A and B are shown apart, each in its own frame.
Chain A
Amino acid sequence: MSHGDEAGRAAERVARESYGRLVAFLAARTRDVAGAEDALGEAFAAALRLWPADGVPDNPDAWLLTVARRRQTDAIRRRQTRTAGEEHLTLIADEIAAASEEGATLPDRRLALMFACAHPAIERGLRAPLILQTILGMTAEDISAAFLVPPATMGQRLVRAKTRIRDAGIPFRIPDKEELGERMQAVLDAIYAAYAKGWNEVGQQGVPEIAGEALWLGRLVVSLMPTEPEPKGMLALMYYAESRRAARRAANGAYVPLEEQDTSLWDDSQIRLAEQLLHEANAGGPTGRYQLEAAIQSAHTGRRLSGAANWPIVVQLYDHLYALTRSPVVILNRAVALAEVDGPAAALAALAPLAQDRRMQGYQPYWAARGHLLARTGATAEAREAFTVALGLTTDDAVTAYLNGQMARLSSH
């Protein structure tokens, strides 16, 4: 990457930071997210175009506001009407002027906006797209590519969700203590869902970008809630995953499962970031879902030092995680770890409850894990059937190559 690209990206970051803060500030006042986006949209587009080439202005917020107000004035002149947007922009400009006189910055309402986007009244699957759009200014088109939804459909859904925020009177505030745990979980789940989209589809054009955006959001929530342990747990989990990016693909492009990864390819600096965050999270309070998942990943990194993963600890951590989440995916992952402690037959027995679970029947990792365990018990025909289903469920060429390799190994035995 050239320096020019890096400078361009840095300028884009500043533009998105500023845009997100201004949208959040306006929307928190008016509860009108779409209105806030409309008022600032053209100015933001201009910033994305101009700043990478001309450099970032001294006061990005003021620049965006000035341009936004000028565009609004032009629009009003053309249409001879007054819009609410203009009043909002005037209001916010006055506050910025007042703040800069006092040497202060505009209050950051992005956390409150994230809580509004991940409110229980907003459909779960839309929370991540909504946060990506309102906080980072991502377009419906870019978001739709990651979420496998046609762009127009994603656009309509986002518009509806914003209308709902306004009409349902969803508050723009940090929830009270008794509510905070659950509501924060929803915000973190949305951000992590965005990360997982980018993670699963690594290698597809245009998609990996979203993992980077999710990491940014992860750092943002940690900075906005510095005393809460769970955001740190989530960010740690993301960094553990990031640290293994280079080890996830073999030379031929095939997917490499964690147990078989070359640990010398793991990225030390990211592991250190993750360990530090996990340490802070553990010191900071009760153990939540993301802290536990990060702790499991931490146990895996032990393999880099000692050569052997601490599987009994991993199984125990999955037990705690299951008690907390009751998730079938946790049963699956626990069974895979259990195979390393008590053998594949015990692991298959632990998987048995999932055979009735319809969600798992369409879940590629379930069939891949089943095939792997069956192969190890010598049940070749059943293993072949499971790998076949796993192949039919994947869209990832790397996973296809891995599963075909597993099938070929079955034949040679």
Chain B
Amino acid sequence: MQFLLLINGDESRFNTEPQGETPVSPEFVAYTEAMKKAGVWIGGDRLKPTRHGARVRVRDGKAVVLDGPYADAKEQLGGYYMIDVPSLDEAVEWATRCPAARYGTIDVRPLADISR
């Protein structure tokens, strides 16, 4: 079963870089390496802070584009992993090991797998 681990938190705390170029912390290197060695890792990355991105909605035929950061959200999506494990329990176990779980929130979401 494939799962996304979505890492949410206060981005001012976990992205301290000027341009998103901060080296990956040793904790995340170890975590990613462990996922790869255990054969569960499919992919993953850190996201640049919201001010580098935009939010898009189309309403009544009109596109509304909002530049980040967004005042309404306390937590932002800061990164993700995609993993393949037999069950939700194991996905949750991996989420508890994520270094960011100590200061942020990890959403564990199974893929609906609609393409198959």
Contacts and interface: CB of A to CB of B under 8 A. Distances in A.
Contacts of B92: 148-150
B15 interface: no
A148 B33 contact: no
Interface string B1-31: 0000000000000000000000000110111
B97 to A, nearest CB: 5
Contact of A388 (B29, B40, B89, B93): B29
Contacts of B26: 391
Nearest to B31: A392
B37 interface: yes
Contacts of A150: 92
B34 A358 contact: no
B33 A392 contact: yes
Nearest to A385: B33
B39 A395 contact: no
Contact of B37 (A148, A361, A394, A395): A361
A149 B38 contact: no
Given A358-B39, A389-B37, A395 B97 contact: yes
Contacts of A57: none
A149 B95 CA distance: 12
Interface residues of A, number: 18
A394 B33 contact: no
Interface in B30-89: 30-35, 37-40, 88-89
A394 B38 contact: no
Of A125, A153, A362, A389, the most chain B CB neighbours within 10 A belong to A362
Contacts of B34: 362, 367, 388-393
Contacts of B88: 153
Interface string A382-405: 000100111111110000000000
A393 B41 CA distance: 13
Contacts of B38: 358, 361-362, 393
Contacts, number: 50
Contact of B39 (A148, A361, A388, A391): A361
A389 B93 contact: no
Contacts of A392: 27, 29-35, 97
Given A148-B92, A395-B97, A362 B30 contact: no
Contacts of B96: 148, 395
A149 B88 CA distance: 9
Nearest to A149: B89
Given A148-B89, A361-B38, A388 B33 contact: yes
Contacts of B97: 392-395
Given A395-B96, A395-B97, A389 B33 contact: yes
A389 B30 contact: yes
A390 B75 CA distance: 30
A361 B93 CA distance: 15
Interface in A153-207: 153
A390 B33 CA distance: 9
Contacts of A391: 26-27, 30, 34
7 contacts: A148-B96, A361-B39, A390-B34, A392-B29, A392-B30, A392-B31, A392-B35
Interface of A: 125, 148-150, 153, 358, 361-362, 367, 385, 388-395
Given A153-B88, A367-B34, 13 more contacts: A125-B89, A148-B89, A149-B92, A362-B37, A367-B37, A388-B29, A390-B34, A392-B30, A392-B31, A392-B32, A392-B35, A392-B97, A395-B96
Interface of B: 26-27, 29-35, 37-40, 88-89, 92-93, 96-97
Can you list the 3 inter-chain pairs with the closest CB atoms, starting with the nearest? A392-B34, A362-B38, A392-B30
